[in-house]
Structure 1
Amino acid sequence: MHIESLYRYPVKGLTPEPLASAALSPGRCIPWDRAFALAQGDAALNPATPTWVSKTNFMCLLRNASIALLQTSFNESARELTITAPNKQTIAANPLTPEGRAALTDFLTAWLGTESRTGPLGQRPAFHYFESHSFCDHQTQVLSLIGLGSLHALETAAGAPRDKRRFRANIYIEEIAPWAEFSWLGKTLQIGEATLRVHERIDRCAATTVNPCTAIRDANPVRELRENFGHIDLGIFAEVITQGTIRPGDTITLL
């Protein structure tokens, strides 16, 4: 088994960035993965003491399919986040500064239009970054892994291709049997120089209905999984135990 591809998602809900490598640290996600998010005005989020809250508090594909059309890149050296809309309208700002976050807030709320929500006291959406925090869907910082054998089994059952980007994994695994990763729960993986402990299967939601190329809800992987396999899971969450760098092509070994 090998890493077929490696990704991070700098802004929650927006497009992935392919990585040539990732330096992993114990108990942390991939650096800059889900580091930024646009909280809706009615979000149950306290910026003074940020803790995990569900994805529906934020701009997300579950509620906002059109954001799949926004192309995103983050230059961590320059501290510059660039977002480009299909009409070529672009913003480049520093998401680590109040001024940059304000500009990103304005850009994204304009894109959302009527899907932008205000709070009960008129609170506007706000673009956030909190040091050492990740806006991931899991309540602790983890990596998500999907075996391409499982994805291909879903495609065969559905009778149609299902772009892997619908499922927003950090690591896609090649040369693996369908659903083999489900047998790894509680076990340890060696990947490159790092070790990870597998915690749980990933249950899927309606965000996967969104086609990442068109932003149209044109498939229902949750229903396809349930009807064909008796569950709604695709992929696993794993926590970094031992630090190290991982790369596409690295061997994955079950210890």
Structure 2
Amino acid sequence: MTAEVTQIWRHPLKSHGREALEDVSVSAGQTMPGDRVWAVAHEASSADGSQWVSWANFTRGAKAPRLMAINSAYDEAAGLLTLTHPDRPDLTFNPDDPADHPRFLEWEKPLLPENRAGSSHIVRVPGRGMTDTEFPSISLANWASHRAVEHAIGHELSAKRWRSNIWFDLGEAWVENTWLGREVQIGETVLAVRERAVRCLATAASPETGERDADTLKTLNDNWGHQDFSVYAEVVRGGRIRLGDKVQVL
């Protein structure tokens, strides 16, 4: 079964926005460049930037749904990240500069619920992105599965709520869930599919408003007996991925 890449997304600051790309070059054993480079640790977190730690250490959309309405633009040459939100002024800052972090924390604070641990600091782990998997992963998503969720829930949904990296249309829902243990060629690259992505409450929030507007987890569980959407893969042969590239299971 073959398909074509229709969208490529990266999320420079974990749970704080997304950015569409036309192409990306990936390397074996690495996360997508510019994806989850940084994460925002909360006050109860043990994250210190020395190693990968799990999602529970970070401020994220599952606990703070308004974060889901953030968009981002990362200027790699300048090292600057711009965040936009319908309820906040635009913010441009350097996530690698601790002197810039207070401006970000002040900007983010109104988007966080008062009854949760507040954000504390930004962390970066050298050599990999802060993905939700212990291995450096890239997420692959199928439009047919998204349409199945839309049909079951009874209205349109923005696919940005899934925060997936590479999108394509296999024409049949959940085919991607059968890819575990197999390799997929996308453009010049080969990826090994290793895990299904178990979804959290962040997917219930609208990427346009940051308000919870869809019971995605109940819909998945009631209709398919799981709360998975998309699969996590690891790059085994690097290269360039472009919009329109073929996606083929090997």
Contact in 1 for aligned 2:189/2:237 (Cα 8 Å)? yes
Q: Which aligned runs of 4 or more in structure 1 are off by greater than 3 angstroms?
A: none
CA distance in 1, matches of 2:83, 2:91: 5
Counterpart residue number, 2:206? 211
Other structure's SS at 2:112 match? helix
| 1:156 aligned residue | 151
Structure 1 partner of 2:77 = 77
Identity %: 29
Query: Shift of residue 113 of structure 1?
Result: 6.5
Q: Which structure has the highest strand share of the two?
A: 2
1:136 Cα deviation from its structure 2 partner:
1.4
Please identify, of 158-167 and 89-98, the stretch whose mean Cα deviation from structure 2 is larger.
89-98
Residues 88, 46 of structure 1: alpha-carbon distance in 2 compared, 3 angstrom cutoff: closer
Q: CA RMSD, aligned part only?
A: 1.8
Which residues of structure 1 form unaligned runs of 5+? 119-123
Q: Is the 8 A contact 2:140 2:164 kept in 1?
A: yes
| Residues 115/130 of structure 1: CA separation in 2 closer, same or farther (3 Å cut) | farther
Q: 1:142 Cα shift?
A: 0.5
Q: What are the equivalent positions in structure 2 for 1:171-210 lying under 5 Å apart?
A: 171-210=166-205
Which of 23, 34, 41 lines up with 1:21 in the alignment?
Answer: 23
The 8 Å contact of residues 70 and 207 in structure 2, kept in 1 or not, is answered as no
Q: Is the 8 A contact 1:70 1:84 kept in 2?
A: yes
Take 1:150 and 1:113, find their aligned partners in 2: how far apart are those partners?
Answer: 31
Matches of 1:11 and 1:211, distance apart in 2: 18
The answer to whether the 8 Å contact 1:166/1:209 transfers is yes
Match for residue 60 of structure 2? 60
2:136 equivalent in structure 1: 141
Structure 2: runs of 5 or more not aligned? none
Q: Does 2:114 correspond to 1:114?
A: yes
* CA contact 2:47–2:123 (8 Å) conserved in 1: no
Contact 2:18–2:70, Cα closer than 8 Å, also in 1: no
Task: Determine whether 1:51 maps to 2:46.
Answer: no
Other-structure match for 1:129: 124
TM-score (norm 2): 0.92
For residue 236 of structure 1, report the CA deviation from its aligned partner: 0.6
For 1:121, the equivalent position in structure 2 comes to none
